[in-house]
Structure 1
Amino acid sequence: MTVNLKDRIALVTGASRGIGYYTALELARAGAHVIACARTVGGLEELDDAIKAVGGSATLVPFDLADMQAIDTLGASIFERWGKLDILIANAGILGVISPIGHVEAKVFEKVMTINVTATWRLIRSVEPLLAKSDQGRALIMSSAAAHKCRPFWGPYSASKAAVEALARTWAGETQRLPLRVVSVDPGATRTAMRAQAMPGEDPSTLPHPSEVAARILPLCGPELTETGKLFAVRENRLVDYRMPE
């Protein structure tokens, strides 16, 4: 499927590697100007080179999502330069630790919630007025099957992803009369650094490359997406709509 995003402005967090990196590249290839955010400057610079190589353009914004003031400033800066935002990919997140709940250190739990949940809320609050100015706003909130499986030892990460799905569904309900469409996305098991951290004994060659996942996510950023408040999971080379109960 060809997705035309010419003249669209897209914001991607966690864009220096993995799914964020390749989603940003796909967006640029489709014609969007990408605002790429991440902590790692080197990774952002590599992304910028890759985007230029496919004829695209990007603005690099290196910062830590734990900096809430920086998130607020980002929204203001986008407004001053472009006056709107068409696409949000809230991709950045951390795993924390795989551990029994009672053994998780408070500072670890709090960091997972800060980056995965509080920063996502703050980002939504910062850019919602900008997305509302788009005639085709799209917001993709990256989730995980961990939000539903809640397997032992994954407590902080599972809880954080359940929380961001709740935020996404609530936001979708609040904005359903706007052109803005909000969806959660479960990319599935993917060959990323986070997956390797969580599953150190797994053979990464058995998993899809993040570029494959990004290519399947891209159509959600275009006009073909008409539903809002749903969860999409990348499975078997297709996007499956897991309809949530009302």
Structure 2
Amino acid sequence: MPTDIDLSQLRVAVTGGTSGLGLALVRLLTAMGARVAFVARTGPAVARLARETGAQGIIADVGRKEDIHPIALQVTAGLGGVDVLVNNASSLGPVPLALLADTECEQLEEALAINLVGPFRLTRALFGALAASARDGRGAVVVNISSDAAVSAYPGWGAYGASKAALRHLTAIWAEETQEERVRFLSIDPGDMDTPLHALAVPDADPATLKQPELSAAEIVQAILAVLPGRAERPAAELPVGTAA
């Protein structure tokens, strides 16, 4: 997609922002002029990306309950509000992938904490700011990154798939419950990408067969623009496969 679209008025928060899809989103959005705050756990990586892009880096773990309100406060203070939240941070659970019978309870809990409970808590903490953006006519969108593992039952992907399936359904419920506030919710499956997370899950995968995260990032930005007031760049019928309002 063209990067000369002016997004200078758009305020975006991205979790899992220093690797894979999150990294591609931060780079693309800042290149398009958006004001971006991103969250990741590793201090040096956060500092490097903040220097590179000018985005606001926040060192935190969305899987930790005590980190959520500090994240929300830093996002709203740094950006002056928020129009778009992308819940991208993800955990596979057990690595290497394991059958459910071989998955420790703590590994399932970790996947649920990062992939489901974390997005719920952060969305809830930022909901007032998102609703204010919608009332002001700026629009408000929450994007929850899903997966085909949320729909299809793949052996060995139990912790990840179950958590993503729950997130997908949670997104649909949020969408139904927030129509009056006009906060839009999207569940997007970006496809199998050449990312460090995919490499952990499938070490022998041929990178040439995988989608580049930059392409998925561009599709997600187009999906966001398609539902923001006055920013539609293409018809809603052409949104990426796997997108649901």
TM-score by length of 1: 0.86
| Sequence identity (%) | 31
Deviations 1:31-77 (A, max 9, x none): 211101001222223322332xxxxx311101122321221122233
Partner residue, 1:233: none
Where does residue 232 of structure 2 map in the other structure? none
Partner residue of 1:184 out of 183, 187, 208: 187
Match of 2:235 in 1: none
Q: Which runs of 5+ in 2 are unaligned?
A: 230-237
Partner of 1:119: 118
In terms of fraction of residues, the more strand-rich structure is 1
* Other-structure match for 1:31: 33
The whole-number CA distance in structure 2 between the counterparts of 1:87 and 1:64 is 19
* Superposition deviation, residue 241 in structure 1: 5.2
Judged with a 3 Å threshold, the aligned counterparts in structure 2 of structure 1 residues 41 and 5 are, in CA distance, closer, same or farther, namely same
What is the aligned partner in structure 2 of residue 152 from structure 1? 155
Q: 1:82 to 1:215 in 2, by over 3 A?
A: closer
Runs of 5+ in structure 1 lacking a partner? 52-56, 228-236
**Could you list the per-position Cα deviations for residues 185-231 of structure 1 after superposition, in whole angstroms to 9, with x for gaps in the alignment?**
10100001111111111111221221121112111222x2279xxxx
| Structure 1: distance between partners of 2:39 and 2:75 | 13
Alpha-carbon contact 2:115-2:164 (below 8 Å) kept? yes
Does residue 167 (structure 1) correspond to residue 170 (structure 2)? The answer is yes
- Distance 1:95-1:28 versus aligned 2 partners, 3 A rule: same
Query: Against the structure 1 CA distance between its residues 99 and 78, is the aligned structure 2 distance closer, same or farther, given a 3 Å change threshold?
Result: closer
Deviations 1:94-130 (A, max 9, x none): 1112212111111111111111111111111111111
Distance 1:59 1:147 in 2: 31
Q: TM-score normalized by structure 2?
A: 0.86
- Does residue 1:133 correspond to 2:136, yes or no? no
SS in 2 for 1:191: coil
Instruction: Map 1:1-246; keep pairs closer than 5 Å.
Output: 1-2=1-2, 3-51=5-53, 57-97=54-94, 98-134=97-133, 135-222=138-225, 224-225=226-227, 239-240=240-241
Counterpart-to-counterpart distance in 2, 1:241 and 1:185 = 5
CA contact (8 A) 1:83 1:130 kept: no
Sort the Cα spacing of 1:15 and 1:141 in 2 relative to 1 into closer, same or farther, 3 A: same
Distance 1:213 1:80, change over 3 A: closer
Distance 1:242 1:78 in 2: 25
What RMSD over aligned residues (CA atoms) do the two structures have, in Å? Answer: 2.2
Q: In structure 1, what is the Cα distance between the partners aligned to 2:92 and 2:8?
A: 34
Deviations 1:150-182 (A, max 9, x none): 112211111000111111111111111333211
Q: Distance in 2 between matches of 1:203 and 1:81?
A: 40
Count of matched residue positions in the alignment of Structure 1 and Structure 2: 229
Q: Which amino acid aligns with 1:138?
A: V
